[in-house]
Structure 1
Amino acid sequence: MLTIKDKTFVSFITADAIQARIQSLAEQINQDYANKQPLIVVVLNGAFMFAADLMKHLTIPCEITFIRVASYTATESTGQLKQILGLHQSIEGRDLIVVEDIVDTGLTIGEVCNQLQISSPASIAVATLLFKPAALKKPIDLQYVGFKIENRFVLGYGLDYDGFGRNTKDILVLQ
């Protein structure tokens, strides 16, 4: 159990389950990109832990870069994507794997992919640790999904509540 500000969170997905699933996702990516050299595009801040652990299991030649977007206020998605910050290299003709912590409404990751598509990459795939199908407002093609979860607020393992709680090994859920 963890209390942050006015909210209490309880265990939801254990560190062992997270690590096992990440290893499985990495094996799938290694197979799918066996003859390619993708650019891993990590969406900060939430996906940093997922991306770090995923990279440990990737055996394909790949590069990594980080972008930053914002669409959350407290525990609710605003649905409004601010400008992508931090993408400084050319992505034209590159195979991209966008690494996200969570996809709920689909609006943020959809807009990220739309903005990336403007620069003419060869392909864009999305790897998300968590997916909330019940919250989806815009259809989105997710190639790599760690866990499908119910539409509840989660925290930990990189995900936060007003900036706090990212530093847990497990994923917790609002009690």
Structure 2
Amino acid sequence: MIRLNDLSFEESISEKTITEAIEKISVEINAAYAGKSPIFMVVLNGAFRFASELISRFEGDCRVEFVKMSSYDGTESTGEVLTHMALDFDLEDQEIIIVEDIVDSGNTLEKLVNMIAGGGIANYSIATLFFKPEAYTKEYKIHYAGLEIPNDFIVGYGLDYNGLGRNLNAIYKLKKTD
């Protein structure tokens, strides 16, 4: 059990399970992008740890670019996706791998796909460490999902609660109050 700010969290996914999920995604991406030089488009802040591990396992040439977006206030989605650092790279004829920490509603993905759609990209795929199928409301295909998880609020491995918890090596879910 850990405490962040005013809330308690209990461990729900071990570091070993996270590492195995990243390895699985890495194998799939290496097979799909063999001989290609994709751009890993990393969604900050949450995806930085996942992206670092994923990209270090990529066996070809690649570029890494960043966008910074947010949609949460505390433990709740605001329903609005804010862009804090926009795309500033050429998309023309590029293979893009969108790297997300977690996909729940899909609102951030929708905004990202709309951002890149007009850029003349060759192709895009979506890689996420965590996927919440119960919460997902969009039609975009999730090409690479490390772990399907329940619709709980989680922290750790890059995910935070009001700025805290990103440094945790395991995943912790919000402890339900009795």
Structure 2 Cα separation of the partners of residues 174 and 82 of structure 1: 24
The one-character-per-residue Cα deviations of 1:2-53 (angstroms, maximum 9, x if unpaired) are 1011111111111111111101111110000002110000000000000001
Structure 1: which 5+ residue stretches go unaligned?
none
> TM-score, length-normalised on structure 2?
0.95
Q: 1:1-175 to 2 correspondence within 5 Å?
A: 1-83=1-83, 85-175=85-175
Is this contact kept in 2: 1:84–1:112, CA < 8 A? no
Please identify runs of 4+ aligned residues in structure 1 that moved more than 6 A.
Answer: none
Is this contact kept in 2: 1:46–1:160, CA < 8 A? yes
RMSD of aligned C-alpha atoms? 1.1
- Give the number of equivalent residue pairs: 175
Shift of 1:137: 2.0
Shift of 1:55: 1.2
Is this contact kept in 2: 1:79–1:108, CA < 8 A? no
Is this contact kept in 2: 1:39–1:64, CA < 8 A? yes
Structure 2: which 5+ residue stretches go unaligned?
none
Structure 2 Cα separation of the partners of residues 93 and 80 of structure 1: 30
What is the SS of the residue equivalent to 1:43?
Answer: strand
The share of aligned pairs that are identical, in percent, is: 39
> TM-score, length-normalised on structure 1?
0.96
